[in-house]
Each structure stands twice: as structure tokens, then as C-alpha cells.
Structure 1
Amino acid sequence: MEKERRSTVGERSRRAILDAALECFTRLGWTATTIEDIRKGSGASVGSVYHHFGAKEGIAVALYIDCLRQHQEALRARLERELDAEGFVREVVIHHIVWCRTNPQAARFLIQMRRDESVAAAEPEIQEATGDFVREMYERLKAFVKEGQLLKLPSSAYLPLLLGPAQELLRYWASGKGELKAGIEKVLADAAWRSLRPEPPAGGRHDAR
């Protein structure tokens, strides 16, 4: 019982530190934020911060993985309801944009930190923590291709066609140069599906949607 209590307290402390870190990184910027800023925001002790994460870079990597998992788990739940390729493709794009609009701090952190040295150095750790979801995505895409529901392409082409335009829009938005207007997710979902739907039979045509 005591061990379980300590585990619960430890997880609450860890969660408070991550939440405070996201707030500090958003308000002050990654470079300017200090461990003391995060400690004050979380109410944790310096020892607790270092126990859970080590240096500030460790907090950044843990927060990156946490935000990415939140995004993935929400998408996984939505994709479980999509049984065909068109619904799958559209839902991936729509979720990506809507989740970022709904969770702007986490979304901006993911986008802005993706190429930061601290996150890039932890790429193996990030892949280990989130790789199952990516593999699930590709397995479903492969199944749709096999069933003739998706255009057959090199595996490396699917992600750029699915999310390339959306990701470019989100990078622009994350830099503070634009906004995510309502309805833009449907426009980009339509474009993604047009690029990935199978070729119509000779003499046939796709119905516009």
C-alpha cells in the first residue's frame, strides 16, 4: 500500500512538472526557461525535478513524448471508427489540425522543438515510445492498398501526401504568422484523399465529395 501511495504521489509530481514546463516554455521560450522557473510553477522540489528528469533537456524530451502520445492516442480512438480508406485518410488530416487548434500550447511545442538539438538527440527514445502507433498506421495503409482502396505508392510517399500540406500550414501557424481558420481541415482532407485515392477504371471517374 505504501509503495502504491509513493507511486501515485510520484506520478502527480511528474505530471505537475510537465504541465509547468509546457506553460514556461510557451510563456518564456525554451532557451530562457530555467529549472527554477519550472520548479516554481510545479511546486516541486529541485530534487524532485532532477529525480524525474535530470536536466532541462530531459524535461523537454519527456514533454515532447507526452504531447505526442496525447495526439496519437486521441487519433487512435477516432481511427477505430473508420473502416474504409477514405474515412481513414480524411480523419488523419482533420484530427491533426483540430487537435492543434484545441491544444495550441502542446502543438506549438511539438512543432517548434522537432528539430531542436535536445529532441533530435533523443530520436531513438522517441521512436521507442511512439513507434507502435506509427507501425499501426502503416499496417492499415498497407491493408487498404492491398484491398485496392488506396493508390499503390512507395511507403515513404504516404506521410508527405497525407500530412505534408497540413504540416506546412501548422508550421506557419506555430510561428505566429497565421491562424487555423475553421473549415481549413476539410479542404486539406479533401486534397489528401484526392492524392491518395486509387485511379478510376478506364472510362470511369471518381464522384466528387
Structure 2
Amino acid sequence: MPRSSQPARRDRPEPRAATVARRASVLKAALDCFTRHGIDGTTIGDIQKAARCSVGSLYHHFGSKEGIAEELFIEGISRFNRGMLRRLRQSRGAEESVKAVVRFYCDWSMRNRALASYLHSRDIDFSEQARARLKTVYRSYITEVFTWFGPFVAGGTMRALPPEAYVPLISGPIQEYVRRWLSGHYEPSPARMKELFADAAWQAVRSRGPAGPAVH
């Protein structure tokens, strides 16, 4: 039977898929604009032109330029967290897991330099609603991280410390280094420094004797 001359019909994207794609396009355009001009120097029209969508669509999905800035930050943090948790779940043992945190922080920041710079910025005045969402994102992430590292502490391969101490000790130093590198204050790339910081992180939290109760 001869083939029909009519082109094959393609199903239209589902409304939700189209919405997700549109939001992602706007956030990417916003990141480009914020990187070039800063948040204050960017107008809603700049984002609209870069995203090739209507101003009405921007307001419908985000409410305002500030809403776009907040959503970009929250989505960026969420992307980072998901990637970090995937990396942890691929690790074996306490030492590899601790070092994986530092290595992932470096690798992700270099692959996503513009977004990493944005996440390190201090230019966003968050609404109360955005602050509440960020707290939820952070609590969920920290719960997952502590669930992963908890058995290593209980088993005696990591020091029993106040819960608040682990994140600053493991990722605090490399976070500060990456922040300064992104701002141009440090020249050596995180790729050249990550093993040094990974070793330091492990030395900071590895067990030095029999396991004991956590300090509160």
C-alpha cells in the first residue's frame, strides 16, 4: 500500500509539559539577563525578549521580575541539591561520601558557572513566601544528607559532633573558595583545589577514637 502523502500527525505537548518548558525557557533567559546586567539592571522587557514570549505570560507564571528572580534561585538550589544527593548515593563509605560532597560542589559550580554565581549573589530580596519555600527545600535536603551520614557517625567512622557542625566543616571551606573564585578574587580553579579541600573535609570529621554520643 502506498504511503500517504499527508505528514504524520504529531501530538501536541501536554499542557503541563508545555508549561514546564515555558518556565524553564524564561528562567534560562532571566539568568542570561541577570548575568549580563544584574537584577536591578534587567527589565521585564529584557527577559521577555530573551525568552521570546509575551509579557503577559511572564506575569502569569511568575507575577513580577522579583518573582522570576526568586524562582530562579529556588530552582537553582533544588537542582544543586538533587545532584548532590545523587552523587552521595553513588558513594561507598564515610570517606568517599565526605569527599564526594566537596568534589561535587566544585564540579557543579564549574559546569554551571553562571547559575553558581547567581546562587552566591546577595542581590535578592526574598518575599516571605519565597523564604518559606527555601526553608522547606533546605530542611528536606538536610534531612536526606543526615540520613545518609548518620550510620557512619553511629558506626564510629565519623566523629559525633553537634548536628549543626557537619555542613560548615565539610562544605563551608570549599563554598567560600568557590565564591571567591566566581567573583574573580582567586585564580586557581576549583578543579585544581578540590582534592586539597576534600582531604581537609575528611580530616575534620573522621573519627579519631571510639564512637561516643553526639554533643548537644
Write the distance in 2 (CA, Å) between the matches of 1:130 and 1:70: 12
**Fraction of identical pairs, as percent:** 36
Of 75, 98, 106, which aligns to 2:107?
A: 98
Superposed, 1:38-187 pairs within 5 Å as 38-113=47-122, 116-118=124-126, 122-179=130-187, 180-187=189-196
Work out whether residues 73 and 119 of structure 2, in 8 Å CA contact, stay in contact via their aligned partners in 1: yes
After TM superposition, give the deviation of residue 84 of structure 1 in Å: 1.0
In the superposition, the TM-score normalised over structure 1's length comes to 0.88
Q: Which runs of 5+ in 2 are unaligned?
A: 1-10, 211-216
Of 17, 32, 35, which aligns to 1:26?
A: 35
Q: What secondary structure, in the 3-state scheme, does the structure 1 residue paired with 2:39 have?
A: coil
Write the distance in 2 (CA, Å) between the matches of 1:80 and 1:168: 25
2:5 matched to which residue of 1? none
- 1:166-207 Cα distance to aligned partner (Å, 9 max, x none): 111122122222232533011000000001000047xxxxxx
In the superposition, the TM-score normalised over structure 2's length comes to 0.85
Segments of 4+ moved more than 4 angstroms: none
Write the distance in 1 (CA, Å) between the matches of 2:128 and 2:208: 38
Q: Does 1:13 align with 2:22?
A: yes
1:206 matched to which residue of 2? none
Write the distance in 1 (CA, Å) between the matches of 2:165 and 2:98: 14
Q: What secondary structure, in the 3-state scheme, does the structure 1 residue paired with 2:199 have?
A: helix
Q: What secondary structure, in the 3-state scheme, does the structure 2 residue paired with 1:194 have?
A: helix
After TM superposition, give the deviation of residue 6 of structure 1 in Å: 2.3
After TM superposition, give the deviation of residue 68 of structure 1 in Å: 1.2
Q: Which runs of 5+ in 1 are unaligned?
A: 202-209
